[in-house]
Structure 1
């Protein structure tokens, strides 16, 4: 069978960080005879060469090429291209890894859409990745109809015939941005680029030792010399005009303007800051016409204008102001309806703890940066656009899986409000009012959220600032009251919104990724429970959102003997919005004693039993009496070491002390 995909991995001294990469390649859903991995060892001096040789000996579809060190990843990638036998080539860095179905899904998607390049959804573990590009699937993308230019890392799949046809290869030697040159040319020459966004294909990882090549401080002269080569590709393959300006804007924004903003600039040593600025100034003056900066956001235009005018001092002053700008969100409401979680919130930007303000000038809204007269005059002389396009302000709500950093945008309904600033005529702040409906069964670009912990955050975009913050630490009483767990879908799944420790932010625990579900029952009292005689049935009101009815088995354990009895249970939705637990108590095995209750809630896979803070005191004379578990333990302790219930062994004080300590910890949380 012909090979569908060749995975090329340049390798240099990754140490233990290569293990995740190897494991992900061995887990691929493609059959082993339909893909190959080619590790190109670029002169590693650690234990990696031996590790790769053992891997290749054990797995025939894993190959290793050893070569003398070339100093960078361009040459090993080119060597891998020449050795590849696959129809497509996927590039992976040795400290990153792939989703288990990445190769199969990307290959099928590429073939289906006759694509020369396939861009799979990325997650950044400590590293930035494109966000807007992956909002949706884009089967027929190009640089004009999609923000492809925002993704210039090499971690994509390329048709090998396409690479050979255009002699597309990486520039070699110790250099920067060789991937920008390669990927930009591929985008501009490709007949079609397909963007796959409904499956997380690539995990882009920042190493704990921060020794990834991209995190090392660079020589500004060499860096911007290499950057000019990417600009040369754009000039060669496009005509002067709006498209070229828009492509150039990517480098002006990301590689130049953003390096001159806020803390990113201020944390640099002054001598290096000046050296970096001088090289950026040269490129801006040499290569970019006025149409490039004109498409930037207002704050970015201001910085770009100051770069052109060679005004580093004013840039530093502007950076001091921007460094203090923070996103802020307030959780206004929270609640379940028909298996979906509705999250209402407000959002705005603040500086030094106070809301950012704007000034109305006729029909225009203007930025009001608190700069010195020199700085304001410099901006005015540049003619930079200081208008605030507040009608374009937006806020996104994103759920991010904590372990993998996979994130997905959720639908948001938004209104914008101008709030007058007291005592400052013509000045106002902008507050964004938003509502998002999160459906855990389709929140991952149409697929269900995987089991685990999903953090909820908001991302505010306005006036050239795009910043994110967690949501929930500031919340209303209504939002606190609306927080409860939910059992949704068929088969049933368990979703628990909860406040994180210690900051109190909102996260979603899907299918018991934590043990927090037990805390939901801490306030349960005997008054919430009724027991009927006759056939024997227990009914309890639980703080749950449930759709219809689902199974919820209950295990009863006699405290003194440890003997257990499994009984059937169901959860049923109530009109009040909570749930009723019904358990069958007709078993003949429920003899005299104190019985602890453990509830198993529906979840994806095997549910974990949750201890309820209640106990059943069963006796022939009184029937069944519901007590707090602590009270039941106290009753037994009062009988002393020799005390016993009929047919039971003596209660050990050490057991009771352990049970009491465990219960106190649970109730405290």
Structure 2
């Protein structure tokens, strides 16, 4: 272990880096910490080498010996996942905030200065900095504007649950929060959602790129590893957390969209058609208790039609119908757009125009969020404005009075 130089003040940020066979990506990662405009005197680095075999540990110690940033390096046997190194780093951290930086990725130069300033100004416990992908995709919908206080239920921040956020350390210590070391995937989503729900608000810094999410050319990333059972474990843990902290209703439904669409639904995508029947049945069996416990029609109305149809079929135990829809998607077919009065429906498999013999309910085919079909943007119909009872009574009285004035008067004799 390389000892951390003594300082007489608490750093603003502890940058926690868990590293496993991270060369050569680690070089740029550490350079980006050193280049932070917040300054070395307001930082510390806590790095955990998780049993690397490619020189990662040696490079961490070499960097610690020459950087102006106080830095501690811990070397340990491989733990099998990112949770253990992050938890150890959190135990050693002293900063007002912590940031979990993956050893493959790197910061924008002003990232920590901007995020700390935001957290201090807004008094929030979690700060999100804009993320862009390098050699890989990255979520974009939550970076439309900078927000002191983002609405967890109405905004898209629930779709970015990776650990690469600025967390107020006092929150994590007070709640005893740790990454679940039993989960092999989705441990960061569980940790981040708990901080969102139990903390004092979430801020968004969207006007400057703060974090570069790197896709490794060797493909050696934990997010790409593991069989389908791990995904169900992840979905179950996140659903249980949300249900335990948010009562049934629209708010819970809005958060449940995340585990249903991002974690569970990909297990029942177009690739399902080509999987062995035993695997398909095992997946359906793993999903069944989750559907029974947490699926609601109201949640379904927050989804696109093909998403809602697959989950509705799953909830009804109709793997045969789900496979027909998956095959339709695999073949890249486009559903016909059907207009019925003030409703728009998409004619995916088993849609019955007459509505008499529908295997799945007709409302499951209804457009309720923005869709794209054949390159066209399909918007859900806007609900007609509701006229209050008082206004209806007043209008009726006016019509009656007007009719009375227009009626012919009887002639006097």
Q: Which runs of 5+ in 2 are unaligned?
A: 1-8, 381-413
1:307 alignment partner in structure 2: 314
1:292 alignment partner in structure 2: 299
Task: Choose from 144, 148, 153 the match for 1:139.
Answer: 148
The structure that has the greater radius of gyration is 1
TM-score between both structures, scaled by the size of structure 2? 0.81
1:91 aligns with 2:100: yes
2:195 alignment partner in structure 1: 186
How far apart are residue 231 of structure 1 and its match?
2.0
Q: Secondary structure at the match of 2:26?
A: helix
Q: Which runs of 5+ in 1 are unaligned?
A: 326-350, 395-428, 433-459, 464-669
How far apart are residue 314 of structure 1 and its match?
2.3
1:369 alignment partner in structure 2: 348
Q: Indicate how the Cα distance of structure 1 residues 378 and 231 shifts in structure 2: closer, same or farther if over 3 A, else same.
A: farther
1:323 aligns with 2:350: no
Post-superposition CA distance 1:607-664 (Å, at most 9, x none): xxxxxxxxxxxxxxxxxxxxxxxxxxxxxxxxxxxxxxxxxxxxxxxxxxxxxxxxxx
Contact 1:305 1:379 in 2 (8 A): no
Q: Indicate how the Cα distance of structure 1 residues 2 and 212 shifts in structure 2: closer, same or farther if over 3 A, else same.
A: same
Task: Choose from 278, 282, 286 the match for 1:275.
Answer: 282
Query: 1:247-646 alignment to 2 at 5 Å?
Result: 247-262=255-270, 264-266=271-273, 268=275, 271-325=278-332, 351=333, 357-369=336-348, 380-389=359-368, 392=370
Q: Indicate how the Cα distance of structure 1 residues 109 and 91 shifts in structure 2: closer, same or farther if over 3 A, else same.
A: same
Contact 1:10 1:42 in 2 (8 A): yes
Q: Secondary structure at the match of 2:142?
A: helix
Task: Choose from 222, 227, 238 the match for 2:235.
Answer: 227
Q: Secondary structure at the match of 1:183?
A: helix
Post-superposition CA distance 1:317-352 (Å, at most 9, x none): 212222344xxxxxxxxxxxxxxxxxxxxxxxxx4x
Post-superposition CA distance 1:122-150 (Å, at most 9, x none): 11235443322111112112423422211
Q: Indicate how the Cα distance of structure 1 residues 83 and 153 shifts in structure 2: closer, same or farther if over 3 A, else same.
A: same
Post-superposition CA distance 1:554-613 (Å, at most 9, x none): xxxxxxxxxxxxxxxxxxxxxxxxxxxxxxxxxxxxxxxxxxxxxxxxxxxxxxxxxxxx
Q: Within 1, Cα distance between the matches of 2:273 and 2:72?
A: 46
Post-superposition CA distance 1:326-384 (Å, at most 9, x none): xxxxxxxxxxxxxxxxxxxxxxxxx4xxx7531232333221236698xx999634455
Q: CA RMSD in A?
A: 2.7
TM-score between both structures, scaled by the size of structure 1? 0.51
Considering fraction of residues, name the structure with more helix: 2
Q: Within 2, Cα distance between the matches of 1:272 and 1:282?
A: 17
Contact 1:138 1:195 in 2 (8 A): yes
Q: Within 1, Cα distance between the matches of 2:93 and 2:197?
A: 23
Greater RCO (CA < 8 Å, at least 6 residues apart): 2
Q: Indicate how the Cα distance of structure 1 residues 377 and 75 shifts in structure 2: closer, same or farther if over 3 A, else same.
A: farther
Query: 1:197-236 alignment to 2 at 5 Å?
Result: 197-220=206-229, 222-236=230-244
Q: Secondary structure at the match of 2:359?
A: helix
Q: Within 2, Cα distance between the matches of 1:267 and 1:29?
A: 51
Considering fraction of residues, name the structure with more strand: 1
Task: Choose from 40, 62, 65 the match for 1:54.
Answer: 62
Tell me the matched-pair count: 369
